Amino acid sequence: MVDVPDDQEKTQISYAKLISKENYMETAVIPGSVKGRLKKDGDFYLWIYIPGEDILKLSIYPIKSNEIQKILIHLEEFSPDLIKGISDILQKLDLGDHTIHTTGLCFSGENCYYETYIDVSEFEEKITTEKVMNEFDKIGKIKDVSVIDIPIEEI
């Protein structure tokens, strides 16, 4: 992972693994009958884990690219205007059509986060924390932004 301060590692909403198609097909973690139900095929599979106190949600996205980045935004609060501002910035940065997964959550009503996973394979250069933060600084109520590379791993 890149650009993630230690204190934020504990406050992310989700965690991700990117695995090859071969590794996905070989794993016994997902039954073959379930694997076959996905209509979309991918060269890679993005596994997004969302842990809760009593449940662990796992979403699996078949994707063509192995160039995935996560944008983690620490918000002062959740509001419709702020979420619209984030959406507008993502569109301005041409990230909207490359979004794989997005989620937002407030822990204890005060630590609010918004995350989005982006396929950056079609961009000439990777997204940087500085570039994204410069844009988000314009809308205010953003405490911090991190950009995290999602490496290919084995399960």
155 lies in some domain: no
Answer whether residue 87 shows pLDDT above 50: yes
DSSP 101-146: EEEEEEETTTEEEEEEEEE-TTSSS---HHHHHHHHTTT--EEEEE
In the three-class reduction of DSSP (H, G, I as helix; E, B as strand; rest coil), residue 2 is classed as coil
Q: What is the pLDDT of residue 101?
A: 96
63 lies in some domain: yes
Distance CA(57)–CA(75), nearest Å, equals: 23
Q: What does the pLDDT look like over 31-52, one tens digit per residue? A: 988 988 888 889 999 999 999 8
Which residue range is the domain that position 75 belongs to?
6-150
**10 within 8 A of 143, measured Cβ to Cβ:** no
18 lies in some domain: yes
* Nearest Cα residue to 132 out of 102, 104, 93: 93
1 lies in some domain: no
Residue 90 sits in a domain of what CATH number? Answer: 3.30.70.1150
99 lies in some domain: yes
Beta-carbon contacts of residue 87 (< 8 Å; ≥ 6 apart): 96
132 lies in some domain: yes
103 lies in some domain: yes
Place 8 in a pLDDT band, splitting at 50, 70 and 90.
very low
For the whole model, what pTM was predicted? 0.86
33 lies in some domain: yes
Place 7 in a pLDDT band, splitting at 50, 70 and 90.
very low
Number of domains in the chain: 1
**68-75 and 142-150 as β-strands: parallel, antiparallel, unpaired?**
antiparallel
